[in-house]
Amino acid sequence: MKYRKMGRTGLYISEISLGSWLTYGNSTDKETAVKVIDTAYSLGINYFDTANVYANGRAEVIVGEALKKYPRESYILATKAFWPMGTGPNDKGLSRKHVFEQVHASLKRLNVDYIDIFYCHRYDPETPLEETLRTIDDLLRQGKILYVGVSEWTAAQMAQALHIADRYLLDRIVVNQPQYNMFHRYIEKEIIPFGEKNGISQIVFSPLAQGVLTGKYKPGGNIPRDSRAADPNSNMYIGQFLKEDKLLKVEKLKAVADEMGITLSQLAIAWVLRQPNVTSALIGASKPEQVEENVKASGINLSDEILNKIEAILQ
Ligand code: NDP
């Protein structure tokens, strides 16, 4: 496993990292979840991603429990807040009250003394950014959070956050967590250039388009029984990628991977990692074998010839 520095910080993150959305506490039973996390840890993955809202807190409990046996300094734990955790008017968003309470609730569920990276899961137009950033800065100073990140914020929103942080000498956001894969490339236009200029790195989620870029979904609509697309609790999100035109492209991309002697999931992960501003490809996994396959993408360099072939297919 290779490690990259997160933006302008001194923190090294594994090129491939593991998340818990839709899997742990949800579609994947606890025993399997722990096996997947153990496999990831043993193969050098040091960044584990969760959120308060994943399986309504159960994902945090499982991730925390699985990692508890390892030295705290050997892994990086990231969690997030923004999405509703209840039905009350203050059970969501980035208000001082909700962020403060959710960070403490996450610490309890994860069973740790501090969170390495705390993300604002989305931008909250209803709360003044000063209020959110001041709260996070307080939590940083209390040692409950080490770094602050955002997820799916626009470049303008991140610029506003940097401006406020500099004006009031608050800690700056250092990482963004956007979606990025061969079928979802909006960050290339503005977010990556902004990140490069301002020392904000990207930890990108769904690099495999939720499993579509592994090649296991074939044109014609044949869905493997043990896959995310077959799971009624999880399949509402993957539909955007399960389109015939995309599945035909997947077949062609798989031929490129075959030619290189690697798997399509390894090609898809190496492809997002070709961007120096991407610190880590944040994968999900429902089985240990998937992690074993995917980590081999670390260190694969794609030649210009291969990149051009991929570009021609994606056009
Ligand atoms: P991926 O694109 O990596 O998809 C992961 C899924 O693909 C797995 O759960 C598995 O599903 C399948 N898969 C993975 N590897 C293989 C393989 N080698 N062979 C066959 N199937 C494979 O990422 P996710 O969409 O799961 O997102 C990853 C993480 O990103 C999340 O866990 C979360 O931490 C974060 N995230 C953050 C968001 C945000 O708003 N900040 C939003 C979404 C995700 P299966 O076996 O069930 O088919």
What are the structural domains of the chain? Answer: 3-208+263-300 (3.20.20.100)
Q: What is the pTM of this model?
A: 0.97
- Determine the distance separating the centroid of ligand 1 and the alpha carbon of 164, expressed in angstroms: 34
How high does pLDDT run on average in the chain?
97
Lowest-confidence segment of 127-141, 173-187, 234-248 by average pLDDT: 234-248
Nearest protein Cα to ligand 1, atom 5: 284
H helices, E strands: number in the chain? 10, 10
Looking at 24, 41, 47, 54, which residue is catalytic? 54
Q: Which residue has the higher pLDDT, 23 or 202?
A: 202
**Does residue 224 contact residue 198 with C-beta atoms inside 8 Å?**
no
The secondary structure element, H or E, covering residue 194 is helix 191-198
pLDDT at 177 over 90: yes
Please provide the DSSP assignment of 96-139 as one string. Answer: HHHHHHHHHHHHHHHT-S-EEEEEESS--TTS-HHHHHHHHHHH
Q: Which residue has the higher pLDDT, 169 or 179?
A: 179
- Determine the distance separating the centroid of ligand 1 and the alpha carbon of 22, expressed in angstroms: 8
Lowest-confidence segment of 117-126, 164-173, 246-255, 259-268 by average pLDDT: 164-173
Ligand 1 contact via 246 beta carbon (within 6 Å): no
CA-based R_g, the chain, Å: 19
Calpha distance 115→148 (Å, rounded): 10
313 band by pLDDT with thresholds 50, 70 and 90: very high
Whole-number Cα distances in Å, 281 to 18, 111, 117, 170, 190:
8, 26, 16, 28, 19
Q: At what angle do helices 304-314 and 244-260 cross, to 10 degrees?
A: 160
ipTM of the complex: 0.99
Ligand 1 contact via 214 beta carbon (within 6 Å): yes
Q: Are strands 201-205 and 47-49 parallel, antiparallel or unpaired?
A: unpaired
Ligand 1 contact via 286 beta carbon (within 6 Å): yes
**Does residue 140 contact residue 146 with C-beta atoms inside 8 Å?**
yes
Nearest protein Cα to ligand 1, atom 36: 205
Q: Which residues of 112-147 are buried (b: 16+ CB within 10 A; e: fewer)?
A: bebbbbbbbbbbbeebebeebbbbbbebbeeebbbb
| pLDDT score at 221 | 78
Nearest protein Cα to ligand 1, atom 18: 290
The alpha carbon dihedral of 210, 66, 40, 106 has a sign of positive
236 band by pLDDT with thresholds 50, 70 and 90: confident
Is 54 assigned a catalytic role?
Answer: yes
